[in-house]
Amino acid sequence: MAAPRDTPQRRAIEAVLAAADGFCTAQDVHARLRAEGHGTGLATVYRHLAALVEQGRVDVVTSPGGEARYRSCSGSHHHHLTCTECGRSVEVRIDAIERACARVGAEHGFRDVHHTIELSGVCDAHPAP
Amino acid sequence: MAAPRDTPQRRAIEAVLAAADGFCTAQDVHARLRAEGHGTGLATVYRHLAALVEQGRVDVVTSPGGEARYRSCSGSHHHHLTCTECGRSVEVRIDAIERACARVGAEHGFRDVHHTIELSGVCDAHPAP
DNA sequence: ACTGATTTTGAGAATCATTCTCATTCTCAG
DNA sequence: CTGAGAATGAGAATGATTCTCAAAATCAGT
Ligand SMILES: [Zn+2]
Ligand SMILES: [Zn+2]
Ligand SMILES: [Zn+2]
Ligand SMILES: [Zn+2]
């Protein structure tokens, strides 16, 4: 369960994530690697993706369809606003929400409260009403 | 794809959800039905669960493990605070968050913004620090 | 570089939740 | 009662993720 060292495969995977500016699926990463000539295996992609998530270098959200989608990100706490049309996503940080979540947890006698928040919508690069 | 009518199977499923006071998996529901003697099939459980979700009579959240968990709920907009130890969960409504989410969407030029929020922690029925 | 120990890799098999298929059973209006 | 259409359930199919394990790469010590 130790994090795999830095290897060419890991670098290739990080490169793919950096190139994409939205979330992409493990299978997507694998396909893109294959397209670029790297013979990286699917298992390896999953391994590194999991390690990167653990290190906080990559975010993962489980899409409604049930698959996990990955995206490289800054290390500190934040959430994502993602376009449902083009997949583009921006990191957002909203103190009001952070505070409200903490307060609600306390009010109900819960401790060690965590939260997951996902925002989605249609960005301004698409036909408007 | 039309919503199935009201049938004994549907009633049984709703009963199971009502009995449990936390989220449970489709497979859980199926198993519990079997245990109670109903010969309900897995496909039927999934069908009704999906219909109930569509009607807003049931909430669904995809757990970190990737499976969908269901819970009967009131119809109006709300979120859940769930205990990671016993699975108990309470509905919460936090205007501050609703407002903040809408505002952030607008600030970034997104329209038709939706959000999913899940709170989890340990409830006061468990050993404290 | 050579050797042996350790880690990483990748092809394919194994899992497992969910969805599909389809013949059978139900429901209900006429 | 009868026939059309809806619902059911057993089992197959799907598809993402995880596991298995032999081969390949890497490392430390010589
Ligand atoms: Zn967009
Ligand atoms: Zn937060
Ligand atoms: Zn609890
Ligand atoms: Zn809300």
CA distance A110 to chain B (A): 4
Domain check: are A81 and A66 in the same one? no
Alpha-carbon gap, residue A57 to B12, rounded angstroms: 45
All protein residues with a CB under 7 A from any atom of strand D? A 5, 7-8, 25-27, 42-43, 46, 50, 66-68; B 2-5, 7-10, 38-44, 47-48, 66
The verdict on B65 touching A (C-beta cutoff 8 Å) is no
Among A43, A21, A20, A42, which residue's Cα sits nearest to residue A30?
A42
Residues B99, B61 share a domain: no
Mark whether B80 and B92 lie in a shared domain: yes
Residue B92: inside a domain, yes or no? yes
- What is the tens place of the pLDDT at every residue in B91-109? 999 999 999 999 999 999 9
Distance A43 CA to D25 C1' (A): 17
**B62 and B81 share one domain:** no
Same domain? For B88 and B71 the reply is: no
Q: pTM of the entire structure?
A: 0.84
Quote the CA–CA distance of A16 and A29 in Å, as a whole number. 7
B41, B97: one domain: no
**Sheet with strand B68-72: strands edge to edge:** B24-25, B68-72, B58-62
Residue identified by tokens 């957002």 is A92
Give the pLDDT of residue B1: 44
Is residue B129 domain-resident? no
| pLDDT tens for each residue of A37-68 | 998 999 999 999 999 999 999 999 988 788 99
Domain-located, residue B128: no
Same domain for A84 and A103? yes
Task: Answer with the one of B55, B75, B95 that is the final residue of a domain.
Answer: B75
Domain count, chain A: 2
Same domain for B62 and B100: no
User: Could you tell me if residue B102 is inside a domain?
Assistant: yes
- Give B10-51 pLDDT, tens digit per residue: 999 999 999 988 899 999 999 999 999 998 999 999 999 999
How remote is the C-alpha of A117 from its chain's centroid? 12
Q: Measured CA to C1', what is the nucleotide nearest B12? A: D8
Burial classification of residue B14, based on how many CB atoms lie within 10 Å of its CB (0-12 exposed, 13-18 middle, 19 or more buried)? middle
CA–C1' gap, B10 and C30, in angstroms = 28
pLDDT classification of B3: cutoffs 50, 70, 90: low
Q: What pLDDT score does A1 carry?
A: 45
Domain CATH for A35: 1.10.10.10
Domain boundary among B56, B75, B94: B75
Domain housing B56? 1-75
How remote is the C-alpha of B113 from its chain's centroid?
21
b vs e for B78-97, b when ≥16 Cβ sit within 10 Å of the residue's Cβ?
ebbbbbeeeeebbebebeeb
Measured CA to C1', the nucleotide nearest A40 is C10
B57, B105: one domain: no
Whether A80 and A20 map to the same domain: the answer is no
More confident residue, B89 or A3: B89
- B112 sits in the region (left: phi over 0; alpha: psi -120 to 50; else beta) called left
Are B25 and B52 in a shared domain?
Answer: yes
Q: What pLDDT was estimated at residue B76?
A: 87
A45 within a domain of the structure (yes/no):
yes
Q: Are residues A62 and A106 in the same domain?
A: no
Mean of the pLDDT values across residues A22-27?
A: 92
| In chain A, % of residues over pLDDT 70 | 96
Tokens matching residue B30? 């199926």
Task: Identify the CATH number of the domain in which residue A82 sits.
Answer: 3.30.1490.190
Q: What is the pLDDT of residue A94?
A: 92
